[in-house]
Amino acid sequence: MKRLFFLGSIVLVLLSGCAGNGQAGDGFLTHVFVDPFTFLIETTASIFAGSYGMAIILITLLIRLLLLPFMVKQYKNQRDMKEKMSVMQPEMEKLRQR
């Protein structure tokens, strides 16, 4: 798990520096994530009379709604794994006693 996290960190660092002209924050991730979110927040804030707080709340809710199916699937998988582990628990206890 640590190795996967480490490799992911390296990939993010490399991607953040891609396609930049040497200035900080001018990488791939900036163009893919930051710029569209900045535009979205500013556009939404203009709808709410310049209220960036309302824009952030609305965008956060929309993102959460988009991710909801994935979160529900993960919750079901965790619940299923917990049930499997509770069934296996007596067997694991017997092995520990040996």
pLDDT digits (tens, 9 = 90+) for 59-88: 999 999 999 999 999 999 999 999 989 888
Report the C-alpha gap between 87 and 37 in whole angstroms. Answer: 46
**Cα–Cα distances in angstroms (integers) from residue 94 to residues 77, 81, 82, 91, in the given order:** 26, 20, 19, 5
Query: Mean pLDDT across the stretch 1-10?
Result: 62
CA-to-CA distance for 23 and 87, rounded, in angstroms?
56
What's the pLDDT at 16?
58
Q: What is the pTM of this model?
A: 0.57
